[in-house]
Amino acid sequence: MKFEEKCGDNGSLVGRNQSYPGEKHQPKGKPITNGEAEFYAKQEANGKCSVPRKRLNMYTWQEIQRHNQEADQWLVINRKVYNVSSWADRHPGGRRVLNHYAGEDATDVFRAMHPEPDIVQLYLKPLLIGELAPGEHSQERHKNSQLVKDFQELRRIIESMNMFHANLGFFFLHFAQILMLEMLAWLLLYHFGSGWPVTIFISFLLTISQAQSSFLQHDVGHLSIFKKSKWNHVMHKFVMCHLKGLSANWWNYRHFQHHVKPNIYPKDPDIDMGPLFLLGDSQPVKYGKKKIKYINYEKQHLYFYMVGLPLLMPVYFNLQSMQVMYLRRYWVDIAWVSSFYIRYFITFGPYYGIFGTVLLIYLVKFLESPWIAYVTQMSHIPMRMSTEENRDWLSTQVLATCNIEQSFFNDWFTGHLNFQIEHHLFPTMPRHNYHKVAPLVRSLCAKHGLQYVNKPMLRAFGDIVRALKKSAALWVDAYYET
Q: In whole angstroms, give the CA distance from residue 435 to residue 161.
A: 13
Lowest mean pLDDT among 102-116, 118-132, 260-274: 118-132
State the pLDDT confidence band at 75, using cuts at 50, 70 and 90: very high
Mean pLDDT of 105-119: 90
3 or 419: which leads in pLDDT: 419
- Report which of 224, 266, 205 is spatially closest to residue 417, judged by C-alpha positions: 224
Provide the pLDDT for residue 275: 85
pLDDT in tens, 290-328: 999 999 999 999 999 999 999 999 999 999 999 999 999
Name the region of 307 (left: φ>0; alpha: ψ -120 to 50; beta: rest): alpha
- Report which of 142, 177, 232 is spatially closest to residue 427, judged by C-alpha positions: 232
Residue ranges with strand state E in 70-150:
72-77, 80-83, 104-105, 128-132
364: which residues sit within 8 A by CB, 6+ positions away?
203, 206, 207, 210
The H or E element that residue 189 is part of is helix 168-192
pLDDT in tens, 175-212: 999 999 999 999 999 999 999 999 999 999 999 999 99
Share of the chain above pLDDT 90, in %: 82
- pTM confidence score: 0.86
State the pLDDT confidence band at 482, using cuts at 50, 70 and 90: low
- Highest mean pLDDT, choosing among 5-9, 67-71, 152-156: 152-156
Mean pLDDT of 419-445: 98
Mean pLDDT of 349-367: 97
Q: What is the mean pLDDT of the chain?
A: 89
Q: In whole angstroms, give the CA distance from residue 398 to residue 385.
A: 12
Provide the pLDDT for residue 19: 37
Provide the pLDDT for residue 44: 45
CB 234 within 8 A of CB 356: no
Mean pLDDT of 162-183: 97
Which neighbouring-strand residues pair with 59? 132
Q: In whole angstroms, give the CA distance from residue 46 to residue 63.
A: 37
DSSP 8-state secondary structure symbol assigned to residue 279: -
Provide the pLDDT for residue 39: 42
Q: How far apart are the first and last CA of the chain?
A: 57
Q: Which domains does the chain have, with CATH numbers?
A: 57-141 (3.10.120.10), 168-267+297-375 (no CATH)
pLDDT in tens, 2-55: 444 434 333 333 333 333 333 333 433 333 334 444 444 444 444 444 445 556
Provide the pLDDT for residue 428: 97
Report the length, in residues, of the chain: 482
Provide the pLDDT for residue 233: 95
Q: DSSP secondary structure string, 305-318? A: IIIIHHHIIIIIIH
Backbone angles phi, psi at 338, to 5 degrees: -60, -35
CB 311 within 8 A of CB 369: yes
Q: How many helices (H) and strands (E) does the chain have?
A: 20, 9
Provide the pLDDT for residue 328: 94
359: which residues sit within 8 A by CB, 6+ positions away?
352
Report helix angle 196-221 to 331-377, nearest 10.
100
Provide the pLDDT for residue 123: 76
DSSP 8-state secondary structure symbol assigned to residue 143: S
Backbone angles phi, psi at 331, to 5 degrees: -65, -35
Burial class (CB in 10 A: 0-12, 13-18, 19+), 208: middle
Provide the pLDDT for residue 37: 43
